[in-house]
Amino acid sequence: MAVKRKKMESYNSSGKRGEANEKKQKKKEASPSPPTPPLRERDDGTPVRAIACLKMHHDMKRFEETDDCFILGFDPYKPVSLSQDDGVDISVVAEKGQVACRDYPHSRHLCIKFPFKTTSHEKHCELCYCYVCDITAPCKYWRTTEGHCHAENTTVWRDVRLGMRHSKRNSERSNGIPLSGRM
C-alpha cells in the first residue's frame, strides 16, 4: 500500500524557513561526493519517520497541519456524550441553527419527529405534508386503504403524485381558474 508523504521543508531556530539551509543544500547537491540522506531509508526507498500516537481529540488538528501520518488512540467518529460531567469548563445547553426535516415543512416520510420506519405512518407532526397532494397532512386520502400516509419517494408513489398533479391541473382548466404561474 502506498503512503502519500508531504514535502519536507527546512526551518531555522525562529520557526521560519531558512535561506541558509537552502544554500547549504544547493552546495551539497553541487558537490562531487554523493549526499548523505537526512533520514535512514528502507530497502523500498521510503524514509523511516517517527510515528505519533495521539491520545486527545484536540491534538488531532495540530498534527493534521504538520504531519501526514499519525495513529489515533481514540475513535474520532464516536459521538460526544453530553451526560458525562468531565469538567466544569464547558457545557452544551442548546443548539443553534435549523434542521431541514424538523424545522421546515417536509414530506411525511422525511419526518424526524415521527421516523417513517419506526412509527405508524398515520402519525404526523405539525409541519408534515402529503407527498402526493402537496398539502398539509392529513389530506382527505390519508387513511384510506391505499392511504397517502404511506407515500414516499419511490417510483410507484411518484407516478401517483404526477397523476394527482395532472388531474388537479385539468380540473383548474375546466373551472376557468388560471394555472399558477400562467395567465
pLDDT in tens, 16-32: 454 444 444 444 444 44
How many residues appear in the chain? 183
| Strand residue runs (E) in 58-105 | 70-72
At residue 156, the pLDDT reads 92
Percent of the chain with pLDDT over 90: 7
* Residue 2 clears pLDDT 50, i.e. is over it: no
117 or 27, which is more confident? Answer: 117
* Residue 14 clears pLDDT 60, i.e. is over it: no
180: helix, strand or coil: coil
Name residues whose C-beta falls within 8 Å of residue 179's C-beta, 6 or more positions apart in sequence.
Answer: 169, 172, 173
- Range from 76-90, 91-105, 109-123, 150-164 carrying the lowest mean pLDDT: 76-90
At residue 155, the pLDDT reads 92
Q: How many other CB atoms sit within 10 Å of the CB of residue 95?
A: 7
Name residues whose C-beta falls within 8 Å of residue 21's C-beta, 6 or more positions apart in sequence.
Answer: 10, 11, 12
List Cα–Cα distances, 92 to 46, 111, 113, in angstroms: 45, 25, 22
Residue 130's Cβ-count burial label (10 Å; 0-12, 13-18, 19+) is buried
- Please give the average per-residue pLDDT across 106-133, as a whole number: 89
100: helix, strand or coil: helix
At residue 68, the pLDDT reads 60
Q: Which of 7-11, 48-52, 112-116, 167-171 has the highest mean pLDDT?
A: 112-116
Mean pLDDT over each residue of the chain, to the nearest integer: 69
Closest CA to 54 of 78, 33, 72, 75: 72
- Please give the average per-residue pLDDT across 172-181, as a whole number: 59
User: Is the distance from CB of 108 to CB of 42 less than 8 angstroms?
Assistant: no
156: helix, strand or coil: helix
* Residue 53 clears pLDDT 50, i.e. is over it: yes
Closest CA to 5 of 74, 58, 66, 76: 66
At residue 49, the pLDDT reads 59
